């Protein structure tokens, strides 16, 4: 048996938070008592202090699957729970998500949910028993279930409408700010972003998905199955951009590709990029005196411990835009083996001294700790990870910044590191850690 130290994500049922990320949407758990509360505590409360929100936390309906349901089956109990939720919960969309026990017992959840669907109830279901994988896998299961059961063709294609699909809500500490930042970038080209998750998301946004000109997937690998399902069902092409754009180099590259995919005039794209880059370098230039100061022990190296969304994005920003050396990277989201080479390629050539910066795929805090103990750091590095890694950073006098689950040393509201502005925010946060150690 393999033991994993210091969990950095949760099981597939954690996708209940993906449902809650769509306004006025309610998950109904067909699972054991306590599962939902523990998952919410880990993914939301201990991760930037993201609250319960609308119908989250202890308000989530649950069938409380017990020994009785193991013996006699839990379909009647689920049917009762769905009926009560539809009567009592004021929502526009419901999602039945299964836990481990009903998936093992073999409850016919599809049949129970279809009974309510035939009556016109706005409800769908997804099989999310914990043994299916992590909440990254659960998130895509929810996406595929939405596409299959809730989305329908309707109306003509709306030119300029772009659906945004990207990070995993709540698992990404900065998810809502990131979605808003992506929306702002898309709108800057004269396009109309359609966000499924977050403040502007929900059932109304879902109703527009089939009318979009383009599906935009900003993700290294998660969501590709969903994009292909949307393309097959509605004929909508998709642009796969494999890394979150942080800072000027990556954001400008992202905007050029998006503009080309949507037919935006290249002159307009370049004018917008030029204005944003000049603004970015104006603020960086103001700080150049202190950023180039050698007496303050400004780090020249960094360690990244995050998922395949954030680790490559941060590494590319710090290496390409700030010239820092990526000493070691750990990818913690259990990236499927078939996508690991593609993720590694995002690090290739980002620093002149390293043709291929060292990348390790592991979610085990023990492996991370022992690996870093064998690294000789010539100077104090940035350690960009989670709360777990703050203790480890003390061993080699690193400067820690929490950007990944668990993140309970920061309150996160609308913060984002995406885009030109996001690059400035990340630089502020990182170097503020350094300066705070010298007070």
CA angle, residues 171, 172, 176, in degrees to nearest 5:
115
- For residue 431 the two structure tokens come to 């170097």
88-129: per-residue pLDDT in tens?
A: 999 999 999 999 988 998 889 999 999 999 999 999 999 999
Predicted local confidence at residue 433, as pLDDT: 94
Predicted local confidence at residue 201, as pLDDT: 93
Q: Which residue stretches of the chain have pLDDT < 50? A: none
Domain spans in the chain, listed from the N-terminal domain onward:
12-149, 158-279, 294-437
Q: How far is CA 31 from CA 46, 94, 414, in A?
A: 22, 16, 32
252 within 8 A of 228, measured Cβ to Cβ? no
**Crossing angle of helices 266-286/419-437, nearest 10°?**
10
DSSP helix/strand/coil, 9: coil
52-94: per-residue pLDDT in tens?
A: 888 899 899 999 888 887 877 789 999 999 999 999 999 999 9
Predicted local confidence at residue 33, as pLDDT: 87
14 within 8 A of 135, measured Cβ to Cβ? yes
- For residue 189 the two structure tokens come to 């080209």
Radius of gyration of the CA atoms of the chain, in A: 22
Predicted local confidence at residue 1, as pLDDT: 55
- Helix then strand then coil, % of the chain, to nearest 5: 50, 15, 35
Residues 6 or more apart from 336 whose CB is under 8 A from it?
221
Q: How far is CA 15 from CA 40, 129, 386, in A?
A: 10, 10, 21
147-174: per-residue pLDDT in tens?
A: 999 998 777 899 999 999 999 999 999 9
Predicted local confidence at residue 390, as pLDDT: 93
Q: If you ran DSSP here, which 8-state letter would residue 323 be given?
A: -
81 within 8 A of 117, measured Cβ to Cβ? no
CATH 3.40.50.720 fits 12-149, yes or no: no
Domains 158-279 and 294-437 share a fold: yes
Q: Which of 379, 323, 375, 386 is nearest to 353 (CA)?
A: 323
**CATH fold of 158-279:** Rossmann fold (3.40.50)
HSE-up of residue 322 (Cα within 13 Å, Cβ side): 28
Q: Which of 253, 246, 212 is nearest to 231 (CA)?
A: 212
Just give the CATH number of 294-437.
3.40.50.1980
């Amino acid at each position: 048996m393999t033991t994993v130290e210091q969990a950095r994500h949760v099981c597939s049922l954690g996708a209940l938070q993906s449902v809650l990320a769509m306004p006025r949407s309610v998950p109904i758990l067909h699972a054991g008592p306590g599962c939902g509360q523990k998952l919410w505590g880990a993914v939301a409360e201990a991760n930037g202090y993201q609250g319960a929100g609308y119908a989250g936390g202890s308000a989530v309906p649950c069938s409380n699957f017990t020994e009785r349901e193991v013996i006699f089956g839990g379909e009647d109990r689920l049917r009762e729970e769905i009926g009560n939720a539809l009567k009592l919960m004021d929502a526009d969309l419901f999602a039945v998500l299964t836990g481990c026990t009903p998936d093992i017992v073999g409850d016919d959840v599809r049949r129970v949910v279809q009974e309510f669907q035939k009556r016109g109830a706005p409800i769908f279901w997804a099989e999310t028993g914990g043994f299916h994988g992590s909440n990254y896998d659960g998130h895509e299961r929810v996406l595929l279930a939405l596409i299959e059961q809730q989305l329908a063709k309707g109306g003509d294609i709306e030119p300029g409408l772009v659906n945004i699909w990207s990070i995993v809500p709540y698992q990404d500490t900065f998810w809502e700010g990131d979605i808003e930042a992506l929306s702002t970038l898309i709108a800057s080209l004269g396009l109309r972003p359609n966000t499924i998750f977050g403040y502007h998301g929900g059932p109304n946004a879902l109703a527009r998905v089939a009318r979009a000109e383009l599906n935009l997937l900003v993700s290294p690998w998660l969501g590709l199955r969903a994009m292909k399902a949307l393309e097959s069902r509605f004929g909508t092409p998709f642009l796969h951009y494999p890394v979150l754009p942080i800072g000027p180099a990556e954001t400008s590259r992202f905007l050029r590709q998006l503009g080309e995919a949507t037919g935006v005039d290249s002159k307009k794209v370049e004018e917008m990029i030029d204005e944003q880059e000049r603004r970015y370098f104006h603020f960086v230039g103001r700080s150049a005196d202190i950023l180039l100061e050698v007496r303050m022990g400004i780090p020249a190296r960094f360690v990244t411990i995050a998922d395949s969304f954030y680790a490559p994005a941060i590494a590319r920003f710090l290496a390409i835009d700030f010239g820092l050396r990526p000493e070691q990277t750990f990818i913690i989201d259990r990236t499927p083996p078939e996508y690991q080479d593609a993720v590694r390629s995002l690090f290739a050539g980002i620093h002149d001294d390293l043709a291929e910066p060292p990348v390790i795929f592991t979610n085990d805090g023990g492996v991370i700790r022992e690996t870093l103990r064998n690294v000789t750091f010539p100077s104090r590095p940035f350690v960009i990870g989670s709360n777990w890694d703050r203790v480890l950073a003390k061993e080699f006098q690193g400067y820690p910044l929490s950007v990944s689950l668990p993140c309970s040393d920061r309150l996160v509201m609308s913060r984002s590191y995406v885009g030109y502005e996001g690059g400035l925010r990340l630089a502020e946060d990182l170097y503020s850690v350094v300066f705070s150690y010298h007070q």
